[in-house]
Structure 1
Amino acid sequence: MTTPAAPARRIPETVHRRRWAILGVLMLSLLIVVLDNSILNVAIKTISTPAPTGLGATQSEIEWAINSYTLVFAGLLFTAGLIGDRLGRKKVLLGGLIVFGVGSALAAESGSPGTLIAYRALMALGAAFVMPATLAVLMNVFEREEQPKAIGIWAGGVGLAIAIGPITGGALLDHFWWGSVFLINVPIVIVAVALMIWLVPDSRDPRPGRLDPVGVVLSVVGLVLLVYGIIKGGELADFKDAKVLATIAAGLVVLAGFVIFEKRSTHPSLDVTYFKNKVFSAAMSAIALVFFALMGVTFFSVFYTQSVRGYSPLQSGLLMLPLAAAQMIFAPRARLVVDRFGYKVTTTAGLILVAATLAVFGTFEKDTPIWFLEVVFFLMGTGMAHIMTPTSVVIMQALPREKAGSASALSNTFRQVGGALGIAVLGSVLATSYRTGIEDKLGLLPPGLRGTAGESIEATLGVAAKLGPQGNALVGPANDAFLHAMHVTALCGTGVAIIGAVVTALFLPGKPPERQEGKQEQELVAATD
């Protein structure tokens, strides 16, 4: 009976006793970061409508409203994790929450798509300091044998946010203006800050890494150029355009320079040596690829349910409930599947299931039974749950405990970069396919309206509404063009998920090895009350 005594030696008893309450506070902090994007999903159509209902944002501006958040978030995660290791994770969590709350209040009062994009970037600045710190604190208040269970519950918090976000956003949009989807973050931030001050202990790395400002700038600039080029190609429906190709090439060159710089740096924000471990690399790839596919699907499914099927924002949010419910149900239990079948089988099966559900999206029509969509969403959430939990455990346990901030930052960076590229690439595929399908139906419109009407289904329907009865002739072709574009986009996402399944099948391990606790394990950073 010597094993139960280990937690008392490694973690202060006062911290150990309240570890589950601490996990609850960390999940609340995580919830608002994830909640913001899931709320925004159902508001995309509203924000794209003309003022005063929305901001009249184009599809490319909507993509930037999403990606300004994800790119800043991803670009700063490494540095945020290091700052948390250096200054203390609790301090960084509190500061990040406050910045996120201020950004949310400002975003709610945005008067144009440009200001919304800017304030979303400010929100991301705060979120970048919240996300890695939550998982780093978790790793420092739970013993190793409890970490998989705690990580599973933490991952289930993502499912909870996905469930609450669309429903909350839809309810707000049914009763208030579009900015309410951001303003709702403010009271949650206030509660989270108060609970964190009261309950959460501080911890830090006694040997924190040095900051890497050059690496941060190179990574952000490279990603912005790459994503800008991809989105611009979709907006122009021409990926052969010289400016598009030049921007994409410049982004790839800067990102290559980033990797070279990090490899030679004595204090890299991204330690490329981690990726020599094939298991670690496979887990990171799986996270990036599944979020690439998922974010793209989430983007076009909102237009499918609201623009094509005619559901309200609240109804659209409720339709996504099975996706979140499945993650909430299965994410905390995925570790049991891993114990029985291993990381390889569990994660690969999850990716195959996600690929299958994406392929089914390629068959949806205007009159597809809505219950079938619900089943597909539930199965997609089930697959996601059996990907996120095992890969998170593999990544977090691959590094020493005091480097938990860096591991969390890496995991979330790949998740965000994968999601940003998914929105950019699949959003551009959607825009290009839609424009190609609708162009020959816009001949009766005045020349000045044809370009605007061809940008997205919402733009076409907006022009049709202004034309009155004459515009009704555009509704059917707009729906047909969008459905075809959605089918093409869904099949692209399917291919990405299949690539992820091949990677995990080749490189992830089988059943978890016997845990070896002892002298060779790195000493836990002391947590203070």
Structure 2
Amino acid sequence: MTSNAMEGEAVVRDPRRWWVLVVLSLAVLVIGIDSTVLNLAIPSLIRDLHATPADVQWILDAYVLVFAGLLLTAGSLSDRFGRRRALITGLAVFGAASLFAVLATEPWQLIAARAAMGVGGSILMPSTLSIMMTTFAEDERRTAMAAWATTSMVSIVLGPTLGGFLLQHFWWGSVFLINIPVAVLAIGAALVLMRETTGDQRPVDPVGVVLSIVTLTATVYVIIEREWNIGVIALAVAGAVAFTAWEARSAHPMLPLGVFRSRDFTGTCLTLLLMVFGMGAVMLMLTQYLQFVLGFGPMRAGLALLPYAVSSAVCNGLGATLGKKLSNKTLIVTGLVVMAAAFAILAQADGYGWVLAAMLVMGMGGGLAGPAAYAAIMSAIPLEHAGVGSAMNDTLQQVGMAISIAVLGSVLAGVFTDNMPANAPEAARDSIGAAFQLGYADAAKTAFTTAMSHGSWISAGFAFAAACLGLILLRDRKPVAPQPETAPLP
């Protein structure tokens, strides 16, 4: 059943669809945990693998570069060759790479494993939303997406919590070991529960594949390295221009550019990009604030973030319910305004009480805006291109996250340095961790609190700008009414 079904038309519902959602949530869970759990393991990697700062940077960046660079290609190929096949392949590659990471004894081996995990993640992630689109009828998709979004948010918070527990009791490899049983379980469940679906059967677009990989990889590299490398910037710009020109004239484009003529699709893409930019660095700020300023240990800091996940889960469900009566535009704009208010609260932080209030309000805003944004993007693209639509959603989030961490990370560092004593050693003025080691703990706490306040106001501004953009670009479309059910699929 396509997204443009006539209201009241009978639909066929897969009786296993909610179990399929559990499998998709498992896949999202393992990806989300892995994206945050590694940060806590950095001291152990330096000590046990003798990793240099450059090694650590590449251990973190190898995954992001490969993951972001391959998303559009993987989404397109999943439409062509099968979404269940893509999910299973991605889980298998991700699980095998995680095992290789556990067995690594040299930094270069771990870097290679992280790059391979990026390949697996890029294959499986777009298939999650596209399978959801083809498994659920339109009137149920918002509820399914709310569960998907909740799992994604919970995984980001669960990463530091679980990572803190594992590192407190086991060695650094345990943070990768947890991926393997989850991947195996998800593969088995997918084979039993899911039916295969395909979309666009046109020939593969090899030129588009190469140009998209070059463009996205070069773009993300420039962002995460935070360097004005003229050669790489020129490569990113040239790749983007060439990709657009090729796709516009190709008989079988990988990314049908016509979808951007839809105000709902383009407007939501731009709004989501600004929303993720505001949200991207929140964990970067909070994990450091909780541990350095408030003195929480890694595990306690992870537990202190759980209210964010709880609020997000509750409000994602609320957003799905309201989505049956209110338009995507209303929910997105309202949610973004609430998120802007949450960042304004965080800017006043002077203890955990302020952080808790900000997280609860932030979860409320994200719960209203997130599922509505995903629904707007996916409903604006034909089902035969569901993999590409899902990949676009994932790419926007990855690029927005990278920009957020790069820009707000630089703001945090700059404001921190400016607020440290002028006579403090350069190392203490550059890093809160070094400041603690060199005896400037009190000054560092004050400086970082000021820096987080500045970063929070910037995030509030971008969330509010995203709300204004959504108010202008998005259309107030009537929610889809529930459709009568026919006999279930066998």
TM bracket, shorter-chain basis: 0.7 to 0.9
Q: 1:280 to 1:139 in 2, by over 3 A?
A: same
Aligned position for 2:433: 458
Match of 1:379 among 354, 361, 374: 361
Please give the alpha-carbon distance, in whole angstroms, between the structure 1 residues aligned to 2:158 and 2:462: 28
The answer as to whether partners of 2:66 and 2:217 remain within 8 angstroms in 1 is no
Aligned position for 1:99: 93
The number of aligned residues is 482
AA of the residue aligned to 1:507: L
**What does 1:285-304 correspond to in 2, within 5 Å?**
285-304=270-289
Match of 2:130 among 133, 136, 141: 136
Deviation at 1:203, TM superposition (A): 1.2
Root mean square deviation of aligned Cα: 3.1
Of 133-142 and 335-344, more deviation after overlay is shown by: 335-344
Answering whether residue 476 of structure 2 is matched by residue 510 of structure 1, we say yes
Could you say what secondary structure the match of 1:386 adopts? helix
The answer as to whether partners of 2:73 and 2:212 remain within 8 angstroms in 1 is no
Answering whether residue 475 of structure 2 is matched by residue 481 of structure 1, we say no
**What does 1:483-502 correspond to in 2, within 5 Å?**
483-502=449-468
Match of 1:407 among 384, 389, 398: 389
Could you say what secondary structure the match of 2:11 adopts? helix
Please give the alpha-carbon distance, in whole angstroms, between the structure 1 residues aligned to 2:52 and 2:209: 30
Q: 1:91 to 1:514 in 2, by over 3 A?
A: closer
Aligned position for 1:446: none
Aligned position for 2:402: 420
Please give the alpha-carbon distance, in whole angstroms, between the structure 2 residues aligned to 1:178 and 1:436: 35
Deviation by residue 1:188-244 (Cα, 9 ceiling, x = unmatched): 111111111211111112x424434444444444444444444544xxxxx7xxx55
Taking structure 2 as the reference length, what is the TM-score of the superposition?
A: 0.88
Aligned position for 2:3: none
Please give the alpha-carbon distance, in whole angstroms, between the structure 1 residues aligned to 2:146 and 2:476: 19
The answer as to whether partners of 1:48 and 1:57 remain within 8 angstroms in 2 is no
Please give the alpha-carbon distance, in whole angstroms, between the structure 2 residues aligned to 1:402 and 1:305: 45
Q: 1:307 to 1:221 in 2, by over 3 A?
A: farther
Deviation at 1:126, TM superposition (A): 0.5
Match of 1:434 among 405, 409, 416: 416
Q: 1:230 to 1:133 in 2, by over 3 A?
A: closer
AA of the residue aligned to 1:327: S
AA of the residue aligned to 1:7: V
Q: 1:265 to 1:112 in 2, by over 3 A?
A: farther
Please give the alpha-carbon distance, in whole angstroms, between the structure 2 residues aligned to 1:492 and 1:118: 36
Structure 1: 5+ residue stretches without partners: 234-238, 444-449, 465-470, 519-526
Deviation at 1:454, TM superposition (A): 4.8
Aligned position for 2:73: 79
AA of the residue aligned to 1:488: H
Could you say what secondary structure the match of 2:168 adopts? helix
Answering whether residue 258 of structure 2 is matched by residue 276 of structure 1, we say no
Deviation by residue 1:2-39 (Cα, 9 ceiling, x = unmatched): 9998334xx6xxxx222211221121122111221243
Aligned position for 1:24: 22
The answer as to whether partners of 1:91 and 1:202 remain within 8 angstroms in 2 is yes
**What does 1:107-146 correspond to in 2, within 5 Å?**
107-110=101-104, 116-146=110-140
AA of the residue aligned to 2:299: L
Deviation by residue 1:465-512 (Cα, 9 ceiling, x = unmatched): xxxxxx32x222332332233222222222221221111111222252
Q: 1:112 to 1:252 in 2, by over 3 A?
A: farther
Deviation by residue 1:327-358 (Cα, 9 ceiling, x = unmatched): 21121331322333322221111111112222
Aligned position for 1:308: 293
Q: 1:226 to 1:400 in 2, by over 3 A?
A: closer
Q: 1:67 to 1:313 in 2, by over 3 A?
A: same
Deviation at 1:418, TM superposition (A): 1.1
Please give the alpha-carbon distance, in whole angstroms, between the structure 2 residues aligned to 1:430 and 1:178: 28
Please give the alpha-carbon distance, in whole angstroms, between the structure 1 residues aligned to 2:483 and 2:408: 45
Deviation by residue 1:74-126 (Cα, 9 ceiling, x = unmatched): 32122112221222222211110011112222334555666544432221210
Q: 1:244 to 1:440 in 2, by over 3 A?
A: farther
Answering whether residue 52 of structure 2 is matched by residue 70 of structure 1, we say no
**What does 1:360-379 correspond to in 2, within 5 Å?**
360-364=345-349, 368-379=350-361
**What does 1:217-256 correspond to in 2, within 5 Å?**
217-233=210-226, 243-244=228-229, 247-248=232-233, 251-256=236-241
Deviation at 1:321, TM superposition (A): 0.6
The answer as to whether partners of 1:163 and 1:325 remain within 8 angstroms in 2 is no
The answer as to whether partners of 2:72 and 2:388 remain within 8 angstroms in 1 is yes
Structure 2: 5+ residue stretches without partners: 1-5
The answer as to whether partners of 1:71 and 1:224 remain within 8 angstroms in 2 is yes
AA of the residue aligned to 1:351: L
AA of the residue aligned to 1:369: G
Deviation by residue 1:226-280 (Cα, 9 ceiling, x = unmatched): 44444544xxxxx7xxx55665455444434433333333333333321121121
Deviation at 1:426, TM superposition (A): 1.6
The answer as to whether partners of 1:67 and 1:420 remain within 8 angstroms in 2 is no
Please give the alpha-carbon distance, in whole angstroms, between the structure 2 residues aligned to 1:215 and 1:323: 39
Q: 1:514 to 1:161 in 2, by over 3 A?
A: closer
Fraction of identical pairs, as percent: 33
Could you say what secondary structure the match of 1:440 adopts? coil
Deviation at 1:186, TM superposition (A): 1.0
The answer as to whether partners of 2:36 and 2:156 remain within 8 angstroms in 1 is yes
Could you say what secondary structure the match of 1:270 adopts? coil
Q: 1:392 to 1:254 in 2, by over 3 A?
A: same
The answer as to whether partners of 1:338 and 1:512 remain within 8 angstroms in 2 is no
Please give the alpha-carbon distance, in whole angstroms, between the structure 1 residues aligned to 2:279 and 2:374: 17
Answering whether residue 130 of structure 2 is matched by residue 152 of structure 1, we say no
Please give the alpha-carbon distance, in whole angstroms, between the structure 2 residues aligned to 1:494 and 1:246: 34
